[in-house]
Amino acid sequence: MSQKTFTAPAHRVAIVTIIVAANMLGLAATDLYLPTIPALPNLFETNIQRIQFTLASFSAGFAISQILIGAMGDLYDRRWILIGSLLIFVPASMWCAMATTVESLIAARFVQGLSASASAALTVPMLLPLFSERQSVRAISVIGSIDALIPAIAPLLGAWIFTQFGVGAVFWVVVLVGLPILAAALVYIPTDRPDTHHTQLWPVIAGYRTLFTHSRFMGYALSHGFALSGLFVVGFSTPYLIVDHLGGQTIHFVYCQVVWVGLYLLAANCTGMLTKWLSPDHLIHVCTWAQVVSALAFVTYALLAPSLSWQGLLLSLIPYCIGMGLRGGAGFAQAVQAVSGFETRASALMIFFSMGLTSLSVALSALYLDQGLITVVLAQLTLILASWGMLRFIRHAPTT
């Protein structure tokens, strides 16, 4: 596939569907679970800080495995890497479903995150050869918008499953969906061994040094990672904040997700049109500035509003979501294309930065989440300012 061997339309559709479905399943592992967060401290007889660590542990596992998955994807057959990850992900989801203590759930979520990461790291490298270079930014943005349907749909489904059958059933649904995706991958995904002169894993892992010293790539990757973690640190805290601090209910979290994801989708699908008038770099810079202004306004609201409400949270995050939708596909494509021959490792390292920063931000903000909305909005402002600072690596880096 990396040599553009497979041209049959039906086969191509099957490949795209399976890879994107596997990626969506990894996202669903968290988004189905989010609506249960406010009720879990009582169910597990613990506090919200430890429950938030179940989110942070998934993100940490997701990030850590990216380094190995990225290296393996540039060396070994990506088909078997994807299948192997699913063979771990499904049992890990069973473990989550059967966990009876918060410590067990934290550990299970870590393993689930480790295995869920492969489909995310492999999506771009496995699908880019199916599209022309001109179509790549548009394709990644569309795929990102498809993935973004999960945060809109999964919380509503997860809330219903939880109220009817309990938290374990949320993870059993992931298992039931994962099994047919695994079977389809075994049947339809073709051999996808990358062209490489390496025969051992360690030299490929050592190749990450090239990415860490490539200032243009690092500018794109870190800016994207800080910006995306700024979105997640608010999103992962929203279920608890709405119920315990903003006078809302779990269904109001679902409303927020639908609005935020809908606008993100709309923005992502405008990227292709905007790149006719703005270069990808210009688009990234403009959207980052817009997100900085949005985060400053969000902090002002949290500090000065006479009373805080879930509606205020909903409205305050909208500009940031739109900015992320517009810049996300462009930033990812620019980063991967900046380092030819390192596509899987570049994709993996971008996800490592995004999820690693998310894990760290969620864990740190969880320690002070009892203080309410101000905790996460200050975290978001810090992260987007760091994202803006990373753009200097792009401005001052050579273009070749």
pLDDT tens sequence across 169-179: 999 999 999 99
List of residues 6+ apart from 360 with CB closer than 8 A: 56
Q: Of 232, 196, 176, 161, whose CA–CA distance to 73 is shortest?
A: 196
pTM of the complete model: 0.84
How far is residue 137's CA from residue 334's CA, in Å, rounded to a whole number?
8
Band (pLDDT 50/70/90 cuts) for residue 5 is: very low
Domain residue spans in the chain? 9-395
Burial class from Cβ neighbours inside 10 Å (0-12, 13-18, 19+) for residue 346 reads buried
Q: Of 99, 85, 235, whose CA–CA distance to 170 is shortest?
A: 99
How far is residue 332's CA from residue 316's CA, in Å, rounded to a whole number?
25
pLDDT in tens, 319-362: 999 999 998 888 887 888 888 777 777 877 888 899 999 999 99
Please provide the CATH number assigned to the domain covering 9-395. Answer: 1.20.1250.20
Dihedral in degrees, nearest 10, Cα atoms 244, 385, 223, 24:
10
Q: Does 279 have pLDDT greater than 90?
A: no
How far is residue 316's CA from residue 312's CA, in Å, rounded to a whole number?
6
Average pLDDT over residues 199-212: 75
List of residues 6+ apart from 302 with CB closer than 8 A: 308, 373, 374, 377
Q: Which two tokens stand for residue 30?
A: 């968290």
Tell me the pLDDT of the chain averaged across its residues. 86
- In order of 2, 64, 70, 200, 272, the CA distances from 76 in angstroms are 12, 19, 10, 10, 33
How far is residue 130's CA from residue 309's CA, in Å, rounded to a whole number?
46
* Cβ proximity of 351 and 62 under 8 Å: yes
How far is residue 51's CA from residue 370's CA, in Å, rounded to a whole number?
13
- In order of 310, 317, 325, the CA distances from 387 in angstroms are 27, 17, 15
Give the model's pLDDT for residue 132. Answer: 59
List of residues 6+ apart from 174 with CB closer than 8 A: 25, 28, 29, 32, 93, 96
Give the model's pLDDT for residue 392. Answer: 80
